[in-house]
Amino acid sequence: MTADPVLVACAHGTRNPTGRRLIAELALAARSLRPGLQTTAAFVDVQPPTVVDVVAGLKAAGTPAIVVPLLLSGGYHVHVDIAGAVAAHDRALAARPLGPDIRLAAVLLDRLRSAGEDPRDPNTAVVLAAAGSSDPRAVADVEDTADLLQRDWAGPVTTGYGSAALPTVPDAVAAARRAGAERVVVAAYLLAPGHFHGKLMAVGAELVTAPLLPDDRIAAVLLDRYDEALAAGGASALS
Beta strand residue intervals within 92-206, DSSP E: 92-94, 124-130, 157-161, 183-188
CA distance 163 to 76: 13
Asked if pLDDT for residue 63 goes beyond 60, the answer is: yes
Asked if pLDDT for residue 118 goes beyond 80, the answer is: yes
117 plus 148 within the same structural domain = yes
93 plus 107 within the same structural domain = no
Which ranges of 50-162 would DSSP assign to H, the alpha helix? 51-60, 76, 83-87, 102-114, 136-150
pLDDT at 236: 56
In a domain, 28, yes or no: yes
Region 79-89: mean pLDDT is 96
pLDDT at 206: 98
Asked if pLDDT for residue 74 goes beyond 70, the answer is: yes
Asked if pLDDT for residue 235 goes beyond 70, the answer is: no
Compute φ and ψ for 127, nearest 5 degrees. Answer: -105, 115
180 plus 220 within the same structural domain = no
155 plus 111 within the same structural domain = yes
22 plus 94 within the same structural domain = yes
Region 135-154: mean pLDDT is 97
Percentage above 70 pLDDT, the chain: 97
Give the domain extent around 226. 6-99+215-238
pLDDT at 166: 97
Instruction: Output DSSP code: residue 122.
Output: T
Region 47-73: mean pLDDT is 97
Region 73-90: mean pLDDT is 94
SS3 30: helix
The residues, ordered by sequence, that sit 6+ positions from 35 with a Cβ below 8 Å of its Cβ are none
CA distance 10 to 93: 13
The residues, ordered by sequence, that sit 6+ positions from 114 with a Cβ below 8 Å of its Cβ are none
The residues, ordered by sequence, that sit 6+ positions from 201 with a Cβ below 8 Å of its Cβ are 208
53 plus 118 within the same structural domain = no
pLDDT at 3: 78
- The number of distinct structural domains making up the chain is 2
13-40 CB burial, b ≥16 within 10 A, e <16: bbebeebbebbeebbebbbeebeebebb
In a domain, 123, yes or no: yes
pLDDT at 219: 97
Give CA angle at 30 (28, 32), nearest 5°.
70
Instruction: Output DSSP code: residue 168.
Output: B
179-224 pLDDT, tens digit per residue, is: 999 999 999 999 999 989 999 999 999 999 999 999 999 999 999 9
pLDDT at 97: 98
Tally Cβ neighbours within 10 Å of residue 1: 3
Residue 237 CA to its chain's centroid (Å): 27
95-110 pLDDT, tens digit per residue, is: 999 999 999 999 999 9
154 plus 84 within the same structural domain = no
Region 46-72: mean pLDDT is 97
pLDDT class for 1, splitting at 50, 70, 90? Answer: very low
Percentage above 90 pLDDT, the chain: 93
In a domain, 1, yes or no: no
pLDDT at 83: 96
SS3 128: strand
